[in-house]
A and B are shown apart, each in its own frame.
Chain A
Amino acid sequence: MAIALEIKDLHKSFKTGFIPKRKKILEGISLKVEEGEIFGYLGPNGAGKTTTIKCVLGLIFPDKGEIEILGHDYLSLQAKQRIGFLPENPYFYDYLTASEFLRFYAQLFSLDKKEIGKKITDLLSLVGLNQSKDIQLRKFSRGMLQRIGFAQALINDPSLVLLDEPLGGLDPLGRKEIRDIIVRLRDNGKTVFLSSHILQDIEMICDRVAIIVQGEVINQGKLQDLISEKILFTEIILSGIEKKDIEGLGECLAGDGGRILLKVFDEKKVNDVLKLVQEHKGKIHSLIPRTETLEDLFVGMVTQQ
């Protein structure tokens, strides 16, 4: 597999305070993003995700380290020609309308005039902003800005898309739409690098992840390899049975309306519970085996640090 983005030993510090003091933000980030995958960059607030992305884009200059984009030097125009970027707090030229804005950016890629018009229409309908193409961006809502930001990131049909918190500020439906678009990008052979701290979203779509805490990558790899498939416990909601009858089988929490939430840690005991419910002519409302989630892993790792 070819490498879409490679970061080697990236260091960055900022001067802060009235009497400037160096504050280390990135302390040796190394990671490889393969072509054609969705790569999740996870970390708690202030871990250095945005700082990393800004280095990759040449907005800030690292103290040390190497970055290569699609085989090119990261500051070269060849590299920039093939990437798209969505910033974390999308804010754009608010005096432009949505289509003027996209046209401006399209011109920076020396696209064909005819091509530009079609491209803009396609992108606006992709992100669901067809109706708003002649509205000034100052009148856009946060979610609409996120969408137009997404559209500008795709204006050059990039091979590598860097998305900083792409699902922030969107409603549930919007999140699903954008998730679908991201997956479709991958299916069309593009590489997606996205940062987030919303784990469910990442879990659903990422092929590989890197976890960063305080400027260091503490784990990276395939999602399946990082989290085990092992069942942690089974959650059973049942009714029509006395609490004391099942107390020995697991952790028991009485719910509303005579329903009992039972956490069974031993898989073998699940069958015993089912049998018992049948004997008592009770009812099972739900039965959910809980495997380890990214969240468990993440919380575990971050607290460990």
Chain B
Amino acid sequence: MKIRAVANNTFKEAIRDRILYLLLFFAAVCIGFSRVLSLLTVGDENKIIKDVGLASISLFGALMAILIGTGLVYKEIDKKTIYTLISKPIHRYQFLLGKFLGLIFTLFIMLLLMSIIFLALLFLHTYTIEWAMLVAIFFIFLELCLITAVAIFFSCFSSPILSSIFSVAFYLIGHLSWGFETLLQKMKPGVGKILVQILYTVLPDLENFNFKTEVVHHLLIPSKVLVYSSFYGIFYTLFVLILSMLVFRKRDFI
């Protein structure tokens, strides 16, 4: 109930942020642009619309999560609204959880809007609703949950600009770290391999959430992989959230 009240308020705040609509607008433009691209390039038109559309949804979703997520907690402390809030009977972890859920709900709505635009565009082209796309979008949502948790984690102890930089770094590393996996396969056993293995385990691998190629090419995804990716997302998010709570538990609000 208390968490819901905070989440509700966070949603009200986020949904009134102009930056959200700016990003939504650009996402729509990009999705629309995919249609133009498909006309200009040779090859499967459908494929290009899907490729560009899904990539836009994923990228702009991540930007929304980072730009809003890094400001949420910081603003409460900076503007001192947290003084009266924390003096009410609410635990600090409940506050953080409320913030997180409020933003997740906002992102869910945004993702929904982008998906509707995307599917509608696709429908105009193929005259079918491609439900398979939703699998990719679901995993984009899981990725956004993780990124939101990371953005909130950084904003528990640093300014929005710094947290944004950290979060973007997390995003980029997360999407490039699969390179280590290929590297691992090529390496001979030894100290080097162990080091790379450790690095790969510690660093996030956001490619786990990337099923764009599979759905675009109508490839069958083994259910084992789906389950693994879901759990990876859920547990990584929980881990980062718990870390945030620990950081937040003993900090002075000054």
Binding site for B on A (CB under 8 A): 14, 54, 57-61, 77, 80-81, 83, 85, 87, 89, 91-93, 95-96, 100, 104-105, 107-110, 149, 152-153, 156
- CB neighbours (8 Å) of A93 from chain B are 9, 13, 81
Q: Which of B4, B5, B16, B83 has the most CB of A within 10 A?
A: B83
Q: Which residue of A is nearest B88, CB measured?
A: A108
Q: Which residue of B is nearest A136, CB measured?
A: B16
- CB neighbours (8 Å) of B82 from chain A are 59
B84 touches A105 (CB 8 A): yes
Please tell me if B87 contacts chain A, counting CB pairs below 8 Å: yes
Of B42-50, B198-206, B246-254, the one with at least 4 CB within 8 A of chain A: B246-254
Please tell me if B125 contacts chain A, counting CB pairs below 8 Å: no
A109 touches B81 (CB 8 A): no
- CB neighbours (8 Å) of B85 from chain A are 105, 108
A80 touches B88 (CB 8 A): yes
Q: How far is the CB of B98 from chain A (nearest CB, A)?
A: 10
- CB neighbours (8 Å) of A61 from chain B are 250, 252
Q: How far is the CB of B9 from chain A (nearest CB, A)?
A: 5
- The one of A80, A92, A104 that contacts B87, using a Cβ cutoff of 8 Å: A80
Q: Which of B16, B91, B252 has the most CB of A within 10 A?
A: B252
B81 touches A92 (CB 8 A): yes
B67-105 CB contacts (< 8 Å) to partner A = 79-91
A89 touches B5 (CB 8 A): no
B83 touches A59 (CB 8 A): yes
- The one of A14, A87, A110 that contacts B80, using a Cβ cutoff of 8 Å: A87
Q: Which residue of A is nearest B5, CB measured?
A: A107
- CB neighbours (8 Å) of A59 from chain B are 82-83, 86-87, 252-253
B252 touches A77 (CB 8 A): no
Q: How far is the CA of A267 from the CA of B84 in the complex (A)?
A: 52
B1-30 CB contacts (< 8 Å) to partner A = 1-2, 4-5, 8-9, 12-13, 16
Q: How far is the CB of A241 from chain B (nearest CB, A)?
A: 59
- The one of A89, A91, A105 that contacts B88, using a Cβ cutoff of 8 Å: A105
Q: Which 9 A-B pairs have the closest CB atoms?
A: A107-B5, A80-B89, A60-B252, A108-B88, A85-B87, A77-B89, A57-B87, A59-B253, A81-B89
Q: How far is the CB of A267 from chain B (nearest CB, A)?
A: 50
Q: How far is the CB of A15 from chain B (nearest CB, A)?
A: 10
Selected A-B contacts with CB under 8 Å, 28 pairs: A54-B254, A57-B86, A58-B87, A59-B87, A59-B253, A60-B252, A60-B254, A61-B250, A80-B90, A85-B83, A85-B84, A85-B87, A87-B84, A91-B79, A91-B80, A91-B81, A92-B81, A92-B84, A93-B9, A95-B16, A100-B12, A104-B8, A105-B88, A108-B2, A108-B85, A109-B88, A110-B1, A156-B88
- CB neighbours (8 Å) of B16 from chain A are 95
Q: How far is the CB of B82 from chain A (nearest CB, A)?
A: 8
Q: How far is the CA of A95 from the CA of B9 in the complex (A)?
A: 10
Please, what's the 1-or-0 string for B141-162, where 1 marks a CB less than 8 Å from any CB in chain A?
A: 0000000000000000000000
A96 touches B2 (CB 8 A): no
